[in-house]
Chain A
């Protein structure tokens, strides 16, 4: 928490806390222990000694149990594109979230922030890429000057999160290990985007990529490389090889704990430990503990079955809650544990009345607050929870989860009780009193009130939930039809205003803290199913879409802009509070249940995986937030000491 009167120069305060344990006393470097897997390479001088491989001040991991290096971690993935998941799980970031959702320096030794405007980044001296080449401010300069500002490589210029109020930063290299970004306006989006699961990489391995860059490479040599790779030009070649996130180029140096060794295409991808990784445990053993990670590619539908057969050591992806009983049944037979983690979306499924629907009669209704509240009151969340989620989920609106520091019970319970008489009263108040012979209410133009709820047709779960809502809405005189469609088509129809109402996942980030952007709660992008045209208007700066016309939506947009401009943490927290209050009152989306459980399969011998955790994309990076580089394999077959591992998990559930 920042002090009441923050000094002008906050050193890792406010939104970013400095983990005291992250600064290593120099004395420890004498105790660095060589990794057994590298003994031979070091003895034959094919690899420098460990003292020369880790940074001078390595990050020291605070782990639940000190591990034993070695072993191979097997995981299942559904396609060759899933190699990117190793960047997500690896979670080596300049700054990273802790399980308590605090931002701390990770790859960086430290960071200084002045009023959310000036960010000074300090690298670790002696930090190296996975090929042994030094990782310095030159790598930051290369990205900023030669990639982000190159009109061929980045035709749209700097990423949005680096352009507060449309202006880019001033970039300075202070020395080999220090760079500074200074903006004119506050830029609270910068650190969260760098810490994301799909992070903004503001550095690139200059020594490797320069051979493919027009500015540095010899013209003839580059031309040959382009032709050899069968690419159109150097831009395509550079884009193809510069895959820090896609992670499909085994030659690209990396900072992640495990580095890709298999050249695509393949059905089995092998990742080996990064010999120059920057983290060590308290006994001076270099992380990651696990020597190799193997991703086997299988069809996503067969992955639960393969997992149940014991073919994965750590699996969450492609497992669903309804696989739980099957997995649990094979638990003993195949030596793994099935744990249940909470998921992070604000609602597992939410209904989105389309405020931009083309039909004018319906549009007027959708924009009527009483109508949205009535619809929400007529959803029996308890029934949905019991019937579909075994009563294990959290009922309520589509908003932040109890684990979020911004949470208040009234946000979740607002207009979320099952109250048919009150819903009927609200509808009567609007004037929808005429009914047809079947008891269905009539619209002002005498059409029966039939709401077609469209979805992307990807899971039967949506249809099941809709079936329950259909029965409940029948009691307030509204007929519901479910229309499964196909993802692209579904979104296109919502965007163009043809869809009356849609059902989809709730807000992505139910774990928001004050430092995270509240963009999901304001009309900011076309992707928002409740107001696609207003979102598009904001996104395109007024070039397309429609300007928001509902005062409450305008208010949310203003609050969002206030958050962007805000400096201190109190400002941000206050803005968030206002946003969530408006959001709760206005019922722009109708939530069902949240915190649905995600089965996590963990090998009996795998240690340091928390028994209770959050399985979330951002913040979370799925396993990333728990730092898999500290997971390790016990030699014996003893059952996992789950009690010891739970204390590292996030806030109580």
Chain B
């Protein structure tokens, strides 16, 4: 087990290096850099800017150097926990990201909770009542959630929430609470705003969750041990929760790997539409304006979390399910 852990940890290093090179290359693929993009935008809106100033800023931030030097500079900083400097915000990247992380966590956890709460009962019910009307009805509902474009649902809900409930459009709280210390009214305001993004982002994930749970459970329900247990007169509910359901949970644990980065990235498109103060819109903006250190460092952070997440889920699987052999995938 120990040598397996060490092996896994060591393999993370080349993985992360490869990811960082890919990220840096892709961000720098479009022509120009943050300053040229910014100036082009300013000029398009009539605000003239001194071209000499761009050269000056490029020198100041080292953007005139060859790419490999810029990469090394950035990677070296990352190793020291320095995520670089955001040109758009004129601040170090960690200060820009920091404020948004908490609210992103909040939205994502609430969404995951919502997805679980909505899809578990439905999934179990439709598996145990396969091909019944209720199964078809609930599955249909799930697919409807998957098929509805989430940004459209967001706009519709925003409109009705504003007209009938008087909730301010977009954002995660009423404007007067922004930047204020946390208090009871502020928390209530957040809760009042939270349900819309949670429903919108959640409905998309619910369908796939229902289908997976249903399929896994159906597989298990055919097994001989289930038949045996039934024959022996075990209570159907106790049987269900004690054996097949636990077996069906494996895929969810292996999902943790992709869950972690999802939690901090949020759903970018929906967040943009709803103007949520989360990290999704920030990343999108950074990529569009070629704010390369902000985009790069944030993506790197997400890559790091993915690698950790996969690692954790593998370990958890190995611990939870003794049938999984650690050596199976290794060649000697």
State the A residues within 8 Å of B (CB): 74, 79-81, 155-156, 159-160, 197-198, 230, 232, 235-236, 239-240, 246, 248, 262, 264-268, 294, 296, 298-299, 301-302, 305-306, 309, 311, 456, 487-489, 491-492, 504-505, 508, 527, 617-618
Number of A-B contacts (CB under 8 A): 104
Report the nearest B residue to A72, measured CB to CB: B176
Q: Provide the bound-state CA to CA distance between A233 and B41, in Å.
A: 28
B175→A296 contact, CB < 8 A: yes
Question: In the complex the two chains form, what is the Cα distance from A333 to B80 in whole Å?
Answer: 55
Query: In whole Å, how far is B129's beta carbon from the nearest beta carbon of chain A?
Result: 42
Residues of chain B contacted by A156 (CB below 8 angstroms): 50, 52-53, 56
Q: Which residues of A contact B48 (CB under 8 A)?
A: 198
CB pair B40 A488 closer than 8 Å: yes
Report chain B residues within 8 Å CB of A267: 171, 178-179, 277
Residues B47 and A456 in contact, CB atoms below 8 Å apart? no
Q: When the two chains form the complex, which single residue of A232, A302, A508 contacts B46, counting CB atoms closer than 8 Å?
A: A508
Once the chains bind, are B179 and A262 in contact (CB under 8 Å)? yes
Q: Which of B87-95, B214-222, B225-233, B299-307 forms part of the interface with chain A?
A: B87-95
List residues of chain A with CB within 8 A of the CB of B169. Answer: 302, 305-306, 309, 311
Give CA–CA (A298, B172) in the complex, Å.
11
Q: Which B residues are within 8 Å of any A CB, using their own CB?
A: 30-32, 36-37, 40-41, 43-48, 50, 52-53, 55-56, 60, 88-92, 95-96, 99, 155, 158-159, 162, 168-171, 175, 178-179, 272-275, 277, 281, 285
Are A305's CB and B158's CB within 8 A?
Answer: yes
Out of B32, B168, B273, which one reaches A311, CB within 8 Å?
A: B168
The 9 closest A-B pairs by CB, nearest first: A156-B52, A268-B178, A298-B275, A299-B275, A617-B46, A508-B46, A302-B275, A306-B169, A302-B170
Residues on A with C-beta less than 8 A from B168 are 306, 309, 311
| CB pair A299 B40 closer than 8 Å | no
Q: For the complex, what is the distance from the CA of A239 to the CA of B56, rounded to whole Å?
A: 11
Closest to B167 in A: A309
Taken together as a complex, chains A and B put the C-alpha atoms of A236 and B57 apart, in Å, by 9
Q: How far is the CB of B124 from chain A (nearest CB, A)?
A: 38
Q: Is the CB of A488 within 8 A of B60?
A: no
Report which residue of B37, B48, B281 has the largest number of chain A beta carbons within 10 angstroms of its beta carbon: B48
A230→B293 CA distance, assembly (Å):
15
Q: Could you tell me the dominant secondary structure of chain A's interface residues?
A: loop
Given known A-B contacts A155-B52, A488-B30, A488-B36, A264 and B273 have beta carbons under 8 A apart: no
CA distance A235 to B60 in the complex (A): 9
User: How far is A508 from B52 in the complex, measured between Cα atoms in Å?
Assistant: 23
A-B pairs with beta carbons under 8 Å apart, 6 shown? A80-B88, A156-B56, A268-B179, A298-B171, A487-B40, A508-B46
* Residue of A whose beta carbon sits closest to that of B172: A267
Q: How far is the CA of A618 from the CA of B56 in the complex (A)?
A: 26
Could you tell me if B52 and A266 are in contact, using CB atoms closer than 8 angstroms?
no
Q: How far is the CB of A314 from chain B (nearest CB, A)?
A: 15
Complex-state Cα separation, A155 to B158, whole angstroms: 50
When distances are taken between beta carbons in the complex, the residues of chain A under 8 Å from B41 are: 487
B-side contacts of A159, CB under 8 Å = 50
Closest to B171 in A: A298
Contact (Cβ within 8 A) A618 B36: no
Q: Decide if B31 touches A492 in the complex (CB within 8 Å).
A: yes
Contacts of B175 in A (CB 8 A): 74, 268, 294, 296, 311
Q: Does the CB pair B46–A264 fall under 8 Å?
A: no
Q: Are B272 and A299 in contact, with the CB atoms below 8 A? A: yes
Least CB distance, B320 to chain A, in whole angstroms: 41
A266 touches B178 (CB 8 A): yes
- Choose one: A230, A294, A309, A527; the contact of B162 (CB below 8 Å): A309
Taking the nearest CB of chain A, how far is it from the CB of B69, in angstroms? 16
For B90, list chain A residues within 8 Å (CB): 240, 246, 248, 264
Min CB gap A268→B, angstroms: 4
CB contacts (< 8 Å) of B170 on chain A: these are 298-299, 302, 305-306
B93 to chain A, nearest CB (A): 11
- The answer to whether B88 touches A488, judged by C-beta atoms less than 8 angstroms apart, is no
Measured CA separation A159–B53 after assembly (Å): 11
**Docked CA distance A246–B88 (Å):** 11
List A contacts of B158 (CB < 8 A): 305
Query: Which residues of chain B are near A301, meaning CB under 8 Å?
Result: 272-273
Give complex CA distance A159, B47 in Å: 15
CA distance A156 to B49 in the complex (A): 13
Report the separation of the CA atoms of residues A397 and B62 in the bound assembly, to the nearest whole angstrom.
Answer: 45
Minimum C-beta distance from A484 to chain B (A): 14
In the complex, what distance in Å separates the CA atom of A299 from the CA atom of B276?
9
Given A299-B273, A492-B31, residue A198 in contact with residue B40 (CB < 8 A)? no
> Given the complex, which residues of A lie within 8 Å of B55, measured CB to CB?
155
Q: Which residues of A contact B272 (CB under 8 A)?
A: 299, 301
Which of A296, A456, A505, A508 is B178 in contact with, Cβ under 8 Å? Answer: A296
- Chain B residues with CB below 8 A from A155, complex form: 52, 55-56
Which chain A residues border B37 with CB–CB below 8 Å? 487-488
Cβ-neighbour of B91 out of A74, A232, A264, A309 (below 8 A): A264
Contacts of A296 in B (CB 8 A): 171, 175, 178
* Cα(A302)–Cα(B155), bound, Å: 9
A-chain residues with CB within 8 Å of residue B179 when the two chains form the complex: 262, 266-268
Q: Shortest beta-carbon distance, A377 to chain B, in Å?
A: 29
Contact of A456 among B44, B52, B275 (CB under 8 A): B44
Residues from chain B with Cβ under 8 Å of A81 in the complex: 88
| Complex Cα gap A267–B88 (Å) | 14
B60, B89, B90, B159 — most chain A CB neighbours (10 Å): B90
Residue of B nearest to A263 (CB): B179
**Is the beta-carbon distance between B274 and A302 smaller than 8 angstroms?**
yes
Contact of B99 among A232, A239, A265, A487 (CB under 8 A): A265
Distance in Å: Cβ of A573 to nearest Cβ of chain B: 24
Instruction: Taking A311-B175, A488-B32 as given, write out 8 further A-B residue pairs in contact, using a Cβ cutoff of 8 Å, ordered by the A residue number.
Output: A81-B88, A299-B272, A299-B273, A299-B281, A309-B168, A491-B44, A492-B31, A527-B43
Which A residue's beta carbon lies closest to that of B180? A268
Using Cβ atoms and an 8 Å threshold, which residues of chain B touch A306?
A: 168-170, 275
Cα A565 to Cα B244 in complex, Å, equals 90
Contacts of A80 in B (CB 8 A): 88-89
Assembled-state Cα–Cα distance A236/B92 (Å): 14
Write the nearest CB–CB distance from B30 to chain A, whole angstroms.
Answer: 7
In the docked arrangement, what's the CA distance between A305 and B163, Å? Answer: 12
CA distance A538 to B306 in the complex (A): 53
Instruction: Provide the residues of chain B in CB contact with A248, threshold 8 Å.
Output: 90
A488 near B275: Cβ-Cβ < 8 Å = no
CB atoms of B46 and A618 under 8 A apart: yes
Which A residues lie within 8 Å of B159 (CB)? 305
- What residues on A are CB-neighbors of B285 within 8 Å? 79
Nearest-CB residue, chain A, relative to B159: A305
Whether the pair B45, A617 counts as a contact (CB closer than 8 A) is yes
Chain A residues with Cβ below 8 Å from B50 are 156, 159-160
**Residues on the A chain within 8 Å of B43, using CB:** 491, 527
* Minimal beta-carbon separation of A335 from chain B (angstroms): 14
Residues of A within 8 A of B40 (CB): 487-488, 491
Expressed in whole angstroms, the minimum distance between the Cβ of B322 and any Cβ of chain A is 49
Distance between Cα atoms of A160 and B36 in the complex (Å): 20
Give the most central of A262, A265, A298, A505: most B CB within 10 Å.
A265
A387 to B43, CA, bound (A): 29
Q: Would A230 and B92 be within 8 Å (CB), given that A265-B99, A311-B175, A489-B31 are in contact?
A: yes
